[in-house]
Amino acid sequence: MPERPAYPVQLIQPDGRRVFDREHAALVADIGPERLRALYEDMVVSRRIDTEATALQRQGQLGLWPPLLGQEAAQVGSARALHPDDYVFCSYREAAVAYCRGVDPGELTRLWRGAAHYCWDPDAVRMTNPNIVVGAQGLHATGYAYAAHLDGAEIATIAYFGDGGSSQGDIAEALGFASSWSAPVVFFCQNNGWAISAPVRVQSATPIVRRAYGYGIPGVQVDGNDVLAVLAVTRQAVARARSGGGPSFIEALTYRIGPHTTADDPTRYRAAAETEEWRRRDPIDRVRRLLEREDLYDSDFERQVADRAAAVAHRVRTATIEMPDPEPARLFDHVYSTPHPLIAEERRAYLEYLAGDPGEAPVHEGVRA
């Protein structure tokens, strides 16, 4: 593989100044004032969704929530590089990607409230639901991409995973399969520094992107807090996949400012100084400073963005609180795509149990309830 640049791709510095990079700047040359403002709004709204959902969990309205605070540029930049017919295979933290794909904000908390096994209809937005089986989505994305290729569909898929997920065997298998069969898939690693309490240095002694080289897959490391840089490299990878060039690997260097999930306490394993250093690289502040430098940020625009964020947050809160509890029998819906006698029997036994003696749980052959 060719030698990679010494530094990650960057188009906006933390102070808002643009970086001269002829190759990658050309990939986002169409991002004028209005589209730059739209990217900023996407990130602000995504952060407000995250803040609202975190508050809902703290108030007992959600069982769990995986915050994305600090990763808005990595998610918005990559999501806005996709075509409508591309398919997204996410992990569990990509609420900003879901928002950009057109998911109703009122559906984002359905799974986390325990009201259903899913949040949204995947086919409606061409994006899978949150996946807590770490790394499995890499195989799903590769298989779907290869099948689409065999069908003659000129699309790409993208698999999101973290630095911890990169150590899973599923990701290694997906990389090998995608390379051997030239599957049109983009592997997008959000390296946010921590796999719960394990620092990234225990995942890999070298940059994670270098793992792709061993499979013959081109890769690029990008400043994951720079929305334009992420947009540029993802567009490049998606174009390569859609045109028959095969898979690509992107390592977006970012940072998880908050906890791994709302069940986690990051103060037990990382220093406050580290978090504060990354706060100074805030992806939203970076774009705001760029907009200010280019006279594109004023009080009217600020109010417009704040109003949009408030409206979306209101939708998230209202929909969550008013979300009806599911009927118990729905627990067995969608386990298989077609009727299955075992599921039918379990449904019948469970409903009998609910209607009968609550002290006697159903027991099936070989399985204790």
Q: Which residues belong to the active site?
A: 256, 260, 269
CA dihedral 337→160→83→233, nearest 10 degrees, is -160
Amino acid at 147: A
DSSP state of 190: E
Phi/psi at 212 (nearest 5 deg)? -65, -35
Q: Which of 253, 223, 220, 243 is nearest to 2 (CA)?
A: 220
Rounded CA separation 62/259 (Å) = 16
* C-beta contacts of 317-324 below 8 A and 24+ residues apart: 317/52, 317/56, 318/106, 319/104, 319/105, 319/106, 319/107, 319/109, 320/53, 320/56, 320/61, 320/62, 320/106, 320/109, 320/113, 321/56, 321/61, 323/109, 323/110, 323/113, 323/115, 324/115
CA end-to-end span of the chain: 53
Burial class, 24, CB count within 10 angstroms (exposed 0-12 / middle 13-18 / buried 19+): buried
Which residues 6+ apart lie within 8 Å of 285 measured at CB?
A: 14
Please state, as a whole number, how many other Cβ atoms lie within 10 Å of the Cβ of residue 346: 18
Q: Compute how many other C-beta atoms are within 10 angstroms of the C-beta atom of residue 273.
A: 7
